[in-house]
């Protein structure tokens, strides 16, 4: 990695913010804006931002989130394909949809299983000092990414939970620029849910 990326761009509340974090945060913010508007170019931005955040989170010893970024970069390729070429089971084009009651039950079950599994792994095999908080954000992000790729409106509710917990996690780590970013993400999660929900009647009709 070029040395200038690790160099401090500025200092926030006594903690240096690297150029690496500045670039990663900027790309991530534009990416979420694209997702909100169903613009498929958000996916390649997600790939770039995720790869940069691998380094940011590794330096902060948030290993669950660091590993998650590698997963995000891979899944973003799948998500990009889904938004460009994906379709529903009935053959219709992939558009914003709502989960069925069975789908909601499966999502809740997946979240309930993923959180402790990731947390226990981090607790046993890494030196993370926040395995359960890191595990929550990591486990639920896996579920949220799948729902986003398949354009289920409930993805925004999962991201709201992830982003809210992540704000506290990054405050603990002193990643102040990312704290601000994830605060905006939390607000955009609400905006995204409302915007996508308004599209449901048009699709249904």
Quick one: pLDDT at residue 63?
A: 76
Mean pLDDT value across residues 101-123: 94
pTM: 0.81
**184 near 28, Cβ under 8 Å?**
no
Token pair listed for 125: 């095999």
Q: Backbone phi, then psi, for 152, in 5-degree steps?
A: -90, 130
Query: Can you tell me whether residue 149 is helix, strand or coil?
Result: helix
Quick one: pLDDT at residue 9?
A: 58
C-alpha to C-alpha distance for 51 and 74, rounded to whole angstroms? 10
Give yes or no for residue 158 having a pLDDT over 50.
yes
The number of CA neighbours under 13 Å toward the Cβ of 20 is: 21
Mean pLDDT value across residues 95-105: 94
Give yes or no for residue 1 having a pLDDT over 60.
no
Give yes or no for residue 143 having a pLDDT over 90.
yes
Query: How is the chain split into domains, by residue range?
Result: 3-86+98-204
C-alpha to C-alpha distance for 97 and 103, rounded to whole angstroms? 12
C-alpha to C-alpha distance for 67 and 70, rounded to whole angstroms? 5
| Residue 66 to residues 2, 56, 108, 110, 153, Cα–Cα distance (Å) | 19, 8, 24, 21, 26
Token pair listed for 27: 């790309």
C-alpha to C-alpha distance for 76 and 46, rounded to whole angstroms? 7
């Amino acid at each position: 990695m070029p040395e200038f990326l690790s160099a401090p761009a500025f200092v926030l509340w006594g903690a240096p913010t690297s150029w690496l974090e500045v670039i990663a945060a900027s790309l991530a913010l534009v990416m979420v804006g694209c997702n909100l508007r169903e613009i498929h170019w958000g996916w390649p931005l997600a790939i770039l931002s995720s790869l940069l955040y691998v380094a940011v989170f590794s330096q902060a010893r948030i290993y669950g989130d660091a590993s998650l970024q590698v997963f995000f970069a891979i899944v973003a390729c799948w998500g990009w394909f889904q938004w460009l070429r994906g379709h529903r089971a009935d053959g219709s084009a992939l558009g914003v949809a709502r989960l069925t009651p069975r789908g909601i039950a499966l999502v809740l079950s997946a979240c309930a299983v993923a959180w402790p599994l990731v947390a226990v792994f981090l607790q046993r095999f890494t030196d993370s000092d926040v395995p359960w908080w890191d595990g929550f954000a990591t486990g639920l992000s896996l579920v949220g990414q799948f729902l986003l790729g398949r354009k289920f409106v409930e993805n925004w509710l999962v991201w709201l939970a992830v982003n809210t917990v992540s704000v506290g996690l990054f405050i603990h780590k002193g990643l102040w620029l990312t704290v601000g970013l994830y605060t905006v993400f939390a607000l955009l999660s609400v905006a995204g849910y409302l915007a996508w929900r308004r599209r449901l009647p048009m699709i249904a009709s």
